[in-house]
Amino acid sequence: MKSLALLSPAKLNLFLKVLNKRSDGYHNLDTIFERIDLCDQLVFTPNPSGKIRVFCDHADVPTDNNNLVYKAAQLLKDDFSLSDGVDIKIIKKIPVAAGLGGGSSNAAIALLGLNQIWKLRLNKTELLDYAKRLGSDVPFFLYDCSWARGSARGDDIQKLNIHTRLWHVLVVPSVKMYSKDVFSALNLELTKPNDDVNILIHSLKKNDLTTVGRLIINDLERAILKLRPELLKSKNEVRGENIKAVSFSGSGPAIFGITATQQEAEALKLKLDKYYTQVFTVRTF
């Protein structure tokens, strides 16, 4: 097989409730994932050396066994006793350590790409097992869907039949945040699932942005602001007269605002470009 190129999309969390801490050290979550059209690209090329080689020109992306793409390839290579090697080039567009799931997406796309390159014929259930071993956000990206609900660690995925395509302005302040640090700073209060997530899903299906804006929540926000209080100013700067809602995605620091139209998102981007180096107009993908 010649080279194979696949897109690796980012995600936003429109709803993120932290329910409790699990015995394995992770947390039980209830979350709504939205896939967006901000994408990396992964290019897979078989090599005769038998080695796994990862290439990326982004300074903050490791190319050794600290990279989830490398780990995904090593898992498959070991489990199937493969002698084949592969070169994987990551063309990075998704900001790193921003709460947008870039590394997790890359890992999932690596599983899909290597399944083809190495002709492993793994089915979705088998691929999901590998995805869960790599990280909690990885399983979502194995699904070809725009919307999904995640439970357990966020890795039990239910595809959602939502056809709405939202427009967002997305700001990534120039700080990095890591999930383990944010969850460590979380002051977990006793909570429980509530019906708001079901109302949110219903409102997304109807494209009722007023209700959607009222129900968006991220339980990690307090921990994010505890670690980086200056991000509250950034969040307030994303607010505009045409913004339906503003929230952090995942463990931050990425901040997204929902607008009714592409034009409103682009207009706000022009204003925010004066203050931030990473501002994007994105849409549900």
Q: Domain map of the chain by residue range? A: 4-159, 167-283
46-88: pLDDT as tens digits: 998 999 999 999 999 999 999 999 999 999 999 999 999 999 9
User: Does the structure show a pLDDT above 70 at 190?
Assistant: no
151-165: pLDDT as tens digits: 999 999 999 999 999
Q: Catalytic residue at 11?
A: yes
117-168: pLDDT as tens digits: 999 999 999 999 999 999 999 999 999 999 999 999 999 999 999 999 999 9
The residue from 11, 77, 235, 269 that is catalytic is 11
pLDDT at 188: 76
Confidence category of residue 191, pLDDT binned at 50, 70, 90: low
Mean pLDDT of 196-215: 96
Which one, of 129, 151, 155, lies nearest residue 140 by Cα? 155
Please give the CATH topology (third level) of the domain spanning 167-283: Alpha-Beta Plaits (3.30.70)
Distance CA 58, CA 226 (A): 28
pLDDT at 192: 59
Distance CA 62, CA 54 (A): 9
CB 256 within 8 A of CB 169: yes
pLDDT at 88: 98
Task: Tell whether domain 4-159 is in CATH 3.30.230.10.
Answer: yes
The residue from 30, 71, 77, 137 that is catalytic is 137
Q: Model-level pTM greater than 0.75?
A: yes
